[in-house]
Amino acid sequence: MPRRDDIHKVLIIGSGPIIIGQACEFDYSGTQACKALRELGYQIVLVNSNPATIMTDPGMADVTYIEPLNLRRMTEIIAKERPDALLPNLGGQSGLNLASELAKTGVLDQYGVKVIGVQVDAIERGEDRSAFKETMTRLGIEMPRSELAYSVKEAEEIAGRLGYPVVIRPAYTMGGTGGGLVYNVEELRVIASRGIAASLVGQILVEESVLGWEELELEVVRDARNQMITVCFIENVDPMGVHTGDSYCTAPMLTIAPELQARLQDYSYRIVEAIQVIGGTNIQFAHDPETGRVVVIEINPRT
């Protein structure tokens, strides 16, 4: 890909504080991005509220802000630094959420900031549970049975129809924040309330449980010309129910049949093409070894 001469200063959003053992890839990839882009001659403005990461070491970026990752502070930084481009997908969910907010509130248009690395509308198509479900239905790719809820009462009614246990999945959160597996209505009320509060849009998905199924993942990269490659096939040794960030994983897959791997790759390519992600995407699947049923759990349009 040729160097872009319409961009001179790039703003990178970091991931902020992370859970030990999870999401360290954002700090690593963000650090590498700072080095690579500076070598190409771009000025780098870094914003990260985590002073413990290598990204915020002196000299890693031209300008470093150890500031809260929120809309008001990001707007002030953009107004002061006037970057040409914003690279949000190295900061995990924090960076993606902020990029979406900055676009929706008109800040990026006001200061003429281009988003690179991911399309803003792709963030919504990948993270908004309703939009993602509609896309999967159109592609004919199965998901766990589920319904959206915006209140605890709605969540109770949906869980009654699906049957316990159910999974609560808030929209626009990372690392399972605000969600969880619930076995009865008392647990549902607590976790649904927490999930609605944690969600950027006050939205949760009440979903059938696939507890005990195999959890399988693909890392896929798609470019602007719709060329796609699979970086790796990942097999979670622990079954569904153990968060993937806490699970032992193997890459490549060790016990999954080649036919199933090919099926997962086909699904993944169709998904990233439909979502129109440019860059790296993690796609997570659940597989029932007894019935052969495969469902897509979620995608993460970030490196």
37 CB-near residues (< 8 Å, 6+ apart)? 10, 44
Is residue 91 domain-shared with residue 222, that is, in the same domain? Answer: no
Is residue 236 domain-shared with residue 202, that is, in the same domain? Answer: no
Asked if the structure places residue 261 within a domain, the reply is: yes
CATH of the domain at 198: 3.30.1490.20
In total, how many domains does the chain have?
Answer: 3
Asked if the structure places residue 81 within a domain, the reply is: yes
Distant-in-sequence contacts of 263-266, Cβ < 8 A, 24+ apart:
263/294, 264/216, 264/218, 264/233, 264/294, 265/218, 265/230, 265/233
Is residue 138 domain-shared with residue 236, that is, in the same domain? Answer: yes
Query: Which of 208, 240, 261 is the last residue in one of the domains?
Result: 208
Asked if the structure places residue 2 within a domain, the reply is: no
Domain hosting 65: range is 9-117
Task: State both tokens at 2.
Answer: 């040729």
Give the pLDDT of the chain (303 residues) as one tens digit per residue.
Answer: 567 888 999 999 988 876 666 667 777 788 888 999 999 999 999 999 988 887 888 888 999 999 999 999 999 999 999 999 999 878 777 888 899 899 999 999 999 999 987 778 777 776 666 778 889 999 999 999 989 999 999 999 999 999 999 999 898 776 567 888 999 999 999 999 999 998 888 999 899 999 999 999 999 999 889 999 999 999 999 998 887 777 889 999 999 999 999 999 999 999 999 988 878 889 999 999 999 999 998 888 765
Asked if the structure places residue 194 within a domain, the reply is: yes
Task: State both tokens at 265.
Answer: 């790759």
Is residue 137 domain-shared with residue 241, that is, in the same domain? Answer: yes
Is residue 87 domain-shared with residue 157, that is, in the same domain? Answer: no
